[in-house]
Amino acid sequence: MISRTTLGARVRRCLTVTLLGTAVLAVSAGLATPASAQPRPLPDNPNRVVSIDDELLEPRASTAGAPLRFATRIGRANDTPDSQTWAQRRGRLGGTFALVHTPSIAAAGVQLCADVEGDSREAGARLVLRPCDGTDSQLWRPLGGGSGPRFLQNVQSELNMERVPGGVVQNDFAPREEPERSNNQLFSVSPKSFGIGGA
């Protein structure tokens, strides 16, 4: 029998993880079906946030070429601004998705996606905003078991998204001696409405 107090604490402690985890599960289940050849693309999962700790993925500017970074979440849940949200768009390959920056969709101009600078396959290459072109360097595959945060592997380079000071790069899996680096490769992709943090 778990006491009421213990239970309450445990729920509070796990609530964030569970909510994010459930979202990731739901999202990856939806993406697991291979894309079939059809002229009309399937609808996006709009208004997603890519989070790690209390930070969200955002570009330094809403323009092509702008480097990506993780920054403190602005606002809570549905108040999160478009500049910190992305549409998850099914990729050409099953189980993969592109991240389309929300302001570029709203502007009805050229849509901008999270991409690897110069389409590099090298570890350490930075991530930038580029016009969505439907290519593998703009596709991400969630890796990792369980319901927690996932590695986000770039489909072309097979390197993982990693938070580094001042920016975001692609990098290989961290060896066991570098758990801190590994932790900087684990992200949740979830509806912004599930967010709890915020400044």
Partner 1 sequence: MRRDTRAGAAAALLVLALGTGCGQGSATPPVPLPAVETAAPTAEPLSRPGPVQLALARTALGETLTSDGRTLYRFEADSADPPRSICENDCLEVWPPVLSDGSPVSLDGAIDRSLVGTIQRSDGTTQVTLGGWPLYWFVDDKTPGDVTGEGVGGNWSAVGDDGKPLVRK
| Helices and strands, number each (H, E), in the chain | 3, 12
Q: Is 34 in the site for partner 1 (CB under 8 A)?
A: yes
Q: Is 7 in the site for partner 1 (CB under 8 A)?
A: yes
Distance CA 37, CA 41 (A): 9
Q: Print the binding letters for residues 165-184 with partner 1: x by CB under 8 A, - otherwise.
A: --------x-----x--xx-
Q: Is 26 in the site for partner 1 (CB under 8 A)?
A: no
CA angle 44, 46, 41 (to 5 degrees): 10
Q: Print the binding letters for residues 47-86 with partner 1: x by CB under 8 A, - otherwise.
A: -----------------x----------------------
Which residue in the set 82, 156, 167, 197 belongs to the binding site for partner 1 (CB under 8 A)?
156
Burial class of residue 4, CB neighbours in 10 A (0-12, 13-18, 19+):
exposed
Q: How many CB atoms lie within 10 A of CB 80?
A: 22
Closest by CA to 69, choosing from 82, 61, 77, 59, is 59
Q: Is 93 in the site for partner 1 (CB under 8 A)?
A: yes
Residue whose CB is less far from partner 1, 83 or 147: 147
Q: Is 192 helix (H, G, I), strand (E, B) or coil?
A: helix
Which residue in the set 51, 84, 96, 102 belongs to the binding site for partner 1 (CB under 8 A)?
96
Residue 17, φ and ψ in degrees, nearest 5: -55, -45
Closest by CA to 114, choosing from 54, 42, 189, 41, is 189
Binding-site ranges for partner 1 (CB under 8 A): 7, 10-11, 13-15, 17-18, 21-22, 32, 34, 37-41, 64, 89, 92-96, 98, 100, 105, 108, 110-111, 113, 118-119, 131-138, 141-151, 156, 173, 179, 182-183, 186
